[in-house]
Structure 1
Amino acid sequence: MATEKALLLVALGFIEALRKRAIHQDEAFYTIGIPQIVERMQAFGISPEIVDVIAELDEYQYLSENCTEQDWQAEMETAAERCRMLLAAMPLQTFDPPNDFRWMPCLRLLD
């Protein structure tokens, strides 16, 4: 479940960046390789609902090129809301890091 939460958070960030035009669409769509990511997610047993959210990211390129700005913004808001709803449906879990020095740099980043 933690992996699925992380994927949703990344997808939400990606959608928000696209919506706000913080990243260029060419950079967003041609660099990432969403079909390959989706294929690997399916192989690792990620739930179909999460895979669908990620797979839809590839469709936003078509929408960005063939929709009005208003329709584009509406699509992006709908996609972001779907991610938020899926995240809200996941239970909160606490994280107890192992007593291992390898975790320390990661924990410092979280502070």
Structure 2
Amino acid sequence: MSRRCELTGKAVQTGHLVSHSNRKTKCRFLPNLCQVTLQSDALKRRVRLRVTAHALRSVEHRGGLDAFLIKASEIELSQTARLIKRELHKKLAEVEAPVAA
């Protein structure tokens, strides 16, 4: 399992820790990943995802998982998040189709 956020695509970064004497030592900066269960209102089910704390705040800010996925680009999302997004679009299309007819 890679250390990558399933919603934002944030991953491990590399760099240097620089001491006071300006010595540089290689370092890996790991994302703050949390295993969370998010509720999808449109799909009426729960989804377990491994996301960063920053992404979790973004989901809450946008108004939930459904709103976040609708606005998110496909490139950043993981395979499971893409499947959830496609299910969400299908469900929303089903709901809007009878209303328009």
Tell me the TM-score normalized by structure 2. Answer: 0.29
Higher-Rg structure is 2
- Which structure carries more strand by proportion? 2
- Which structure carries more helix by proportion? 1
Q: Comparing both chains, which one has the higher relative contact order based on Cα–Cα distances under 8 Å and sequence gaps of 6 or more?
A: 1
